[in-house]
Chains A and B, each alone.
Chain A
Amino acid sequence: MESTPIKIDYRRCNGCRKCYELCPMDIFVLDKEMDMPLVAYEEECGFCGICWMECPKRAIDIVYPVSFW
């Protein structure tokens, strides 16, 4: 079920791995087959916005979670 607040648009992602490199909570992993980042530990997201700020292709969107409403 796709419910993570961190949405990666794989049509835009160029696989530069910046989000994977920079995330302070290390919630991304690299998918070996795709060679693209995946959100693996979404429950640990600290909502700092670093992946979203740094993504050179603007491929990451952080959607305000319902439980924060």
Chain B
Amino acid sequence: MARQQITERVIETDVLVMGGGIGGCPAAAKAAEHGLNVTLVEKSKLERSGKAGQGLDEIGIFPRDGLTPLEAVRIYLGKSSVYDRGGTERVVNPRVLFKLFDNAMWALEELEKLGVNMKYINGEYGWMPWGFAAGGELGPKVELRVHWQNVKPEMAAGVRKRGINVIERTMVVDLLTHNGKVAGATAVNTRTGEFIVFKAKAVVIASGDLERHYNSPTPHFWKYKMGLNTCPAASSGDGQAVAYRAGAYLSCMEMMRPVTIRDIVLMQPGQLHLNDGIPAKVFTWKGDEISRPPGPLQFMELERQGLAPLYYSLEHLPDDFQKRLEVHIADETMLRLKMSQDRGFNPRTHRYQIVGDRAVRFNNTGIVIGDNLEALRGVYAVGECTDTYGIGAGGTAVAGFVVGENICNYVSGAGEPPLDKAQVEYQRQTALAPLAVKDGVEPLELECTIRNICEEYGGTFKSEGRLREGLKRLGSLKREFLPRLMAPNPHYLMRCLEVRNIMALAELHLQASLERKETRGLYIRLDCPQRDPSLDNRRVYQRMVNGQATIEMVDVPELSPDFVKEKK
């Protein structure tokens, strides 16, 4: 059956969901429950795709235990410059945050209805007794400890049971539009090379964040360039790029989340410094205990004093906590346990070398969500490809359910999407062009060059001259080599299309960094070391208008009392 559908040239649907991770699955499932015809396009295989493909150990943002959603928003916005969020106070739209916090407990029930195991031990929820969600700012007991090694198989089963048309190994090329409204998308099967046209009344983008414009946190000088800590298939920024090319606003593209990573070699995930409630101790190389450096500048200072490398030590953890930590890792990325063993690494006796000045460049910002923007109607976005800036897995799942619940209001009034044949033909030619190129450029080589340019001229410590030079180099790279990308088969065609997206977003990233002339939180411009108060509550918006890139600073909306009353 599925096979037959794929051989159709045009697939008609009410809602097209791009990406089947922990945001896309809930959105698709919920929309289907409302009787809509839903098609889900997934680049990999639904059962193990996305950032939670190999598991997840905690999921948070459930305001409870006396914490109201409104308070949660205030706390989140008020303190968020302290930790790893790059000074986001009012960079995140508080209205979106409120909707997420307000719907979180409902989404928790919905997750269970979808067939996801939310219980921890003995059929009980594992409310974590310390604050970790949203950087620990929301206080304790808002986050669930979960055994989510099999969350994706569970979600996939729920999605398939609801009769959603799941199309796998297929990558969206671009969105189809008509008069400022979305009309569908075009896509390529990455195994057969078949070009597929989707006619859709609405599109939900749930494609994950952008990381591949930078080197992985532990840069690999040898050939394994995708050795990132989370799913590289979901970090090429496909959703942001197609939305941008179709005319949607992107925001906060200059922001990154330089998260301190536990171990330079293993990228140990899990509870990072908290270790199930007992913080790791931090030592200099000489063995002196110090407090945890909160950001890259402090790391740089310690480096300058000759105290690097710095180490996390877990030697003081009692035995049962060491065991608990192993369960954490098994829940999130089981392979790390094996890799630790392979390296002869034992946290009871060894120390993790931590990195803070050259860290994970999550760029989980992008597509602007909000009812006040009419840039491109019919496009919805959830999760890390949106401007919620690191709200995490919890926020992603909640957003998926909220969008799935409300999308039928839009779909019922959207009308039949017209198919613009010329637009389809243009997208087909652009997408399939690399298949005909001989003696051209390999996509991975071009990707590595983009990464090197971003590392060299962007990075954690930015300045105007470097950014301008980086943009110049990126521009010539784009002119010279993007048309010469070659793909001997559909698999490499997928990589070529990814590089096209990464290239577009890397450029936006440098342009946005040029626009924000200040240092704010962990967003660092060496040439503008002070925070600029006139940029408070303002963020960079980027949009393509008639083929021209535009950039402006826009006020972040207020959280008005009316909005809070209205709810959902």
Contact = CB atoms under 8 A, between A and B. Distances in A.
Interface of A: 5, 21-26, 40-50, 52-54, 62-69
A50 B149 CA distance: 10
Given A25-B232, A43-B224, A69-B265, A50 B48 contact: yes
B226 to A, nearest CB: 5
B335 A53 contact: yes
Given A22-B45, A25-B233, A26-B191, A48 B53 contact: yes
A63 B342 contact: yes
A59 B538 CA distance: 54
B343 A69 contact: yes
A43 B339 contact: no
Nearest to B46: A22
Contact of B224 (A5, A23, A52, A54): A5
Interface of B: 44-45, 47-50, 53-54, 149, 169, 190-191, 218, 220-228, 231-234, 265, 333-336, 338-339, 342-343, 444, 491, 494-495
11 contacts: A24-B49, A24-B231, A41-B491, A42-B223, A43-B223, A44-B225, A53-B149, A62-B339, A67-B224, A68-B218, A68-B227
A46 B232 contact: yes
Contact of A54 (B48, B228, B336): B48
A49 B224 contact: no
B225 A43 contact: yes
A52 B338 CA distance: 10
B169 A47 contact: no
The A interface is mostly helix, strand or loop, or mixed, namely: loop
A53 B54 contact: yes
A52 B335 contact: yes
A26 B189 CA distance: 12
B224 A22 contact: no
Contacts of A23: 44-45, 48
A25 B169 CA distance: 10
A40 B488 CA distance: 13
Given A43-B226, A68-B218, 9 more contacts: A22-B44, A24-B53, A25-B44, A43-B223, A43-B444, A49-B333, A49-B338, A53-B54, A62-B335
A68 B221 contact: no
Nearest to B337: A49
A23 B233 CA distance: 10
The B interface is mostly helix, strand or loop, or mixed, namely: loop
Nearest to B265: A68
Contacts of A25: 44, 226, 232-233
Given A22-B47, A24-B233, A43-B224, A62 B491 contact: no
A26 B149 CA distance: 20
B45 A21 contact: yes
B333 A48 contact: yes
Contact of B190 (A22, A26, A46): A26
Given A62-B335, A64-B339, A67-B222, A47 B227 contact: yes
A26 B169 contact: yes
A45 B225 CA distance: 8
Given A21-B45, A22-B47, A22-B48, A48 B220 contact: no
A52 to B, nearest CB: 6
Q: Closest 10 CB pairs between A and B?
A: A49-B335, A67-B222, A64-B342, A24-B44, A43-B223, A24-B233, A22-B48, A46-B232, A46-B226, A48-B54
A46 B338 contact: no
A21 B53 CA distance: 13
Contacts of A52: 335, 338
A12 to B, nearest CB: 17
Contacts of B224: 5, 42-43, 45, 47, 65, 67-68
A67 B382 CA distance: 36
Given A24-B48, A24-B49, A68-B218, A47 B225 contact: no
Q: Which of B190, B227, B494 has the most CB of A within 10 A?
A: B227
Contacts of A69: 265, 343
Contacts of B218: 68
A6 B44 CA distance: 19
A69 B235 CA distance: 24
Nearest to B220: A67
A50 B223 contact: no
A26 B491 contact: yes
Contacts of B227: 45-47, 68
A47 B444 CA distance: 17
B470 to A, nearest CB: 26
A57 B347 CA distance: 30
A49 B54 CA distance: 7
Contacts of A22: 44-45, 47-48
B226 A44 contact: yes
A63 B341 CA distance: 11
A26 B44 CA distance: 7
Contacts of B335: 47-49, 52-53, 62
Given A24-B48, A26-B190, A47-B335, A67 B221 contact: yes
Nearest to B490: A26
Contact of A48 (B221, B231, B491): B231
Given A25-B226, A64-B339, A50 B53 contact: yes
Q: Which of B232, B336, B444, B495 has the most CB of A within 10 A?
A: B232
A41 B226 CA distance: 11
